[in-house]
Amino acid sequence: MISEEKIGEIRQRADIVEVISSYLDLKRVGGNFQGLCPFHAEKSPSFNVNPNRQFFHCFGCNAGGDVFTFLMRMEGLSFIEAAQELGRRFGIEVEDRQPTPAEEEQRRQRELLLRINEVAADFYHHTLVEKEEGKKGLDYLSKRGFGRETIDKFHLGFASEQWSGLATHLRGKGFEPEGGRKLGLIRIGKNGREDFDFFRNRLIFPIINSRNEVTAFGGRALDSSLPKYLNSPESPVYRKAQTFYGLCQAQEAIRRGGECILVEGYFDLLAVSRAGYENVMATCGTALTAEHATLLRRMSKKVLLLFDQDAAGEKATYRSMEELLKEQLAVAVITLDPGEDPDSFIRKNGVEEFGRRIREARPVFQAFMEKILREHGSSHEGKARAAEEIVSKLGLLPSPIERELYLQDLAVKTGIAPEILTARGGKPSAPANQGDSGKSDKRNLEMVRFSRGEKLTEKSQNWLLSLLAADPEARRRLTVEGSQRYFADENRRAVADHLLESPGSVPDLAKLAASPKLCEKQKLIVMEVLNESAAHLFEERERIFHDCCRTVEMQRLQQRSRELTRLIIEAEKSGDSDTVTICSREKMEINRLLKSRN
Helix runs in 330-397, H state only? 342-349, 351-359, 364-376, 380-391
Strands 244-245, 64-65: pairing is: unpaired
Strands 259-263, 302-306: pairing is: parallel
* 498 close to 515: Cβ distance less than 8 angstroms: yes
* 303 close to 262: Cβ distance less than 8 angstroms: yes
- What's the rounded Cα separation, in Å, for the pair 116 and 123? 10
pTM exceeding 0.95: no
Coil, helix or strand at residue 143? helix
Helix runs in 392-489, H state only? 400-414, 418-424, 437-449, 456-470, 472-481
The sign of the CA dihedral 234, 238, 243, 245 is negative
User: What tens digit of pLDDT does each residue of 517-534 get?
Assistant: 888 888 888 877 766 655
Coil, helix or strand at residue 208? strand
- Classify burial at 580, counting beta carbons within 10 Å of its beta carbon; exposed 0-12, middle 13-18, buried 19 or more: middle
Low-confidence ranges of the chain (pLDDT < 50): 424-454
pLDDT at 444: 40
User: Is residue 465 left, alpha or beta, with left meaning phi > 0 and alpha meaning psi from -120 to 50?
Assistant: alpha
pLDDT at 452: 35
pLDDT at 474: 80
User: What tens digit of pLDDT does each residue of 271-309 get?
Assistant: 999 999 999 999 877 789 988 998 888 778 899 999 988
- What's the rounded Cα separation, in Å, for the pair 468 and 463? 9
In angstroms, the first-to-last Cα distance of the chain is: 49
Torsion of CA 398, 591, 570, 575, to 10 degrees: 170
CA angle 145, 148, 152 (to 5 degrees): 120
DSSP string of 223-257, one letter each residue:
SS-SSSEEEPPPBTTB-GGG-EETHHHHHHHHHHH
pLDDT at 18: 87
User: What tens digit of pLDDT does each residue of 370-381 get?
Assistant: 999 999 999 999
pLDDT at 433: 46
* 467 close to 474: Cβ distance less than 8 angstroms: yes
- What's the rounded Cα separation, in Å, for the pair 89 and 96? 16
Integer angstrom CA distances of residue 217 from 15, 154, 238: 31, 12, 10
